[in-house]
Amino acid sequence: MIIVIAKVIPKEGKEPEFIKIASDLVDITRNEEKNISYDLVSSLDDNAFLFIEKWEDMDGLNQHLNSAHFKFFDHCSKVFTEDSEITVYDSEEIHLME
């Protein structure tokens, strides 16, 4: 399983525009074949937004990164964002004993 944490800081005053294009991306991405989950949350520590993503495998993430809707978001977000940081984790689920 691939986990992605993408932190995005919108430019001051551009939060509504960022939220609009990010919401559209989330809605479309959740329907991708290899997507497990895809959420957008706001940080309480700063002006940042976090995309928290889970993918079946790296192929699924790469398909997403090459999709038309992601490329559109990436292009538009450059107008609305000040900074971003992306971390990708290759992981496996831990089955806890109760």
Residue 52, pLDDT score: 98
Would you say residue 10 has pLDDT above 90?
Answer: yes
| Domain residue ranges in the chain | 2-90
d(CA 64, CA 60): 6
Q: What is the pLDDT of residues 18-73, one digit of tens each?
A: 999 999 999 999 999 999 999 999 998 888 999 999 999 999 999 999 999 999 99
Task: Please tell me the predicted confidence (pLDDT) of residue 7.
Answer: 96
pLDDT of residue 46: 87
CATH annotation of 2-90: 3.30.70.100
